[in-house]
Amino acid sequence: MKLRTTLPLLAVALFATSAQAYDADWKRGRIYYRSVCTSCHVASPIGQINPSGKTKAEWAAYFQADKHAKGKESVKQYVSKDYRAKIKASNKAAEKFADVPEQELLEDVKFFLQRGAKDGEAPASCS
């Protein structure tokens, strides 16, 4: 009897969890990465960083560590609404994505980099 009650509740809980999952948009991630990340890197001594310059595992480790600029800053800060507001006057992509939730934009960029990684399904450069 308990099994009959528990199984439907479990199914509803699993469905509700999967319904809330965000499907990252690699195209939006590509636009943001190329327009915001790449434009900043080109102007810095580090230079341009192509997605295919790292493997999927290396990109995953980078995001897991959440360390940018040799550990001085958080990666997440660069997709924050505050950062986008700060650069929107000089960056149209930052202005275009001003209202996108931070976590969604971060997932979009991650997906683009994973997809474009050296061992990804579509190795990409940012030319």
Q: What does pTM read for this prediction? A: 0.78
Instruction: State residue 16's pLDDT score.
Output: 47
Instruction: State residue 47's pLDDT score.
Output: 74
Residues 116 and 51: beta-carbon distance below 8 Å: yes
At 89-115, the pLDDT tens digits run 999 999 999 999 999 999 999 999 999
Q: Kindly give the parts of the chain with pLDDT less than 70.
A: 1-20, 125-127
**CA 71 to the chain's CA centroid:** 18
Q: What are the distances in angstroms from CA 73 to CA 11, 25, 78?
A: 41, 25, 9
